[in-house]
């Protein structure tokens, strides 16, 4: 079925619609890693938390606005293919409840405001935010998502910058710990999003989006996911400065995820396995970054 025309007349978008296109869930999950980077930067520089409340507010609000702005611009660009997928067909940009011009300007304004707030912490934080925004909007959404299955990997750069933003807001001279946080997030994203791509494979196929499961099949996709999870385990253990409790937790969570990933080679229910991988990835990221904060209090 061909997509219908995108309505530009008399938009009826509500605040809920605007929160939908800003992808509030994605914003909130990224702020966990942003705060972790900020908090750890305070510790490694021996700064007091109470002396940096304003910087924290600017950092969190700035990062949230940049991420939300990027999500709005993603919705603006994808409004045609969103009409073709069951998962996205009810998005306000796909139904026309919000006009394309509104979405575009909201995305630009939010991104600009967020960048200004980040610049009020350090210029480095603003630059990192802009790099993440550029990769997500132009490299991933506008180019690779529609042309190449490597889109998930390259797009992972944008999802990995929030802890760098948080760290840079405190310390522009990024410590090696900040880069490990970046690497953890970078390696985490392919298995997370490939699991989602497997779940929504037919949606992506119908929309003509060359996600790895669509162009290469589930077998290759599962093997790719295993390699990323396997690489993530030793990288997470490199944060030995965080103490034995963190190392045990990282080892247990990482090994559990690797065992689950390997079980995909023999599973008879690919969809059930993909759902398990997706849920595990969400829990892994949340638990790991919360633990990084708690063990360093």
- pLDDT tens readout for residues 149-191: 999 999 999 999 999 999 999 999 999 999 999 999 999 999 9
Q: For the chain, give the percent of residues with pLDDT over 90.
A: 92
Q: Which residues of the chain have pLDDT under 50?
A: 1-9
Count each helix (H run) and each strand (E run) in the chain, helices first.
13, 0
Question: Mean pLDDT in the chain?
Answer: 94
Question: Are 196 and 278 spatial neighbours (Cβ–Cβ below 8 Å)?
Answer: yes
pLDDT (0 to 100) of residue 202: 95
Question: Are 220 and 150 spatial neighbours (Cβ–Cβ below 8 Å)?
Answer: no
Structure tokens of 37? 């980077």
Question: Are 245 and 295 spatial neighbours (Cβ–Cβ below 8 Å)?
Answer: yes
| List of domains in the chain | 15-294 (1.10.357.140)
pLDDT (0 to 100) of residue 13: 73
Phi/psi for 98 (5° steps) reads: -120, 135
pLDDT (0 to 100) of residue 76: 97
Alpha-carbon distance of 258 to 268, in angstroms, equals 18
Residue 159's contacts (CB-CB under 8 Å, 6 or more residues apart) are: 30, 132, 136, 185, 186, 189
Going 210 to 212 to 216 to 218, the CA torsion angle's sign is negative
Q: pLDDT by residue (tens digit) across 13-56?
A: 788 898 999 999 999 999 999 999 999 999 999 999 999 999 99
How many other CB atoms are there within 10 angstroms of residue 271's CB atom? 12
pLDDT (0 to 100) of residue 218: 98
- Of 73, 283, 40, residue with least CA distance to 181: 40
């Amino acid at each position: 079925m061909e997509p219908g025309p995108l309505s530009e007349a008399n938009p009826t978008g509500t605040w809920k619609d605007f929160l939908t296109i800003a992808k509030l869930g994605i914003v909130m999950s990224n702020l966990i890693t942003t705060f972790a980077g900020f908090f750890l930067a305070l510790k490694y520089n021996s700064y007091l938390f109470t002396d940096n409340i304003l910087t924290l507010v600017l950092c969190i609000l700035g990062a949230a606005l940049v991420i939300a702005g990027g999500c709005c611009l993603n919705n603006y660009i994808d409004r045609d293919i969103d009409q073709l997928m069951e998962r996205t067909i009810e998005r306000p940009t796909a139904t026309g409840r919000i006009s394309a011009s509104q979405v575009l300007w909201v995305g630009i304004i939010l991104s600009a405001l967020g960048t200004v707030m980040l610049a009020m912490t350090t210029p480095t934080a603003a630059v990192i935010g802009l790099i993440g925004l550029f990769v997500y909007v132009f490299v991933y959404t506008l180019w690779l998502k529609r042309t190449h299955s490597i889109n998930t990997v390259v797009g992972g750069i944008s999802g990995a910058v929030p802890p760098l933003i948080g760290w840079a807001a405190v310390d522009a001279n990024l410590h090696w710990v900040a880069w490990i946080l970046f690497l953890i997030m970078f390696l985490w994203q392919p298995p997370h999003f490939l699991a989602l791509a497997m779940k929504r494979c037919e949606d992506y196929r119908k929309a003509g989006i060359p996600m790895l499961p669509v162009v290469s099949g589930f077998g290759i996709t599962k093997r790719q996911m295993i390699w990323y999870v396997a690489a993530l385990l030793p990288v997470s253990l490199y944060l030995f400065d965080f103490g034995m409790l963190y190392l045990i937790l990282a080892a247990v969570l990482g090994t559990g995820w690797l065992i689950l990933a390997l079980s995909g080679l023999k599973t008879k229910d690919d969809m059930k396995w993909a759902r398990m991988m997706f849920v595990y990835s969400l829990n892994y990221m949340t638990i790991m970054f919360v633990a990084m904060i708690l063990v360093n209090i």
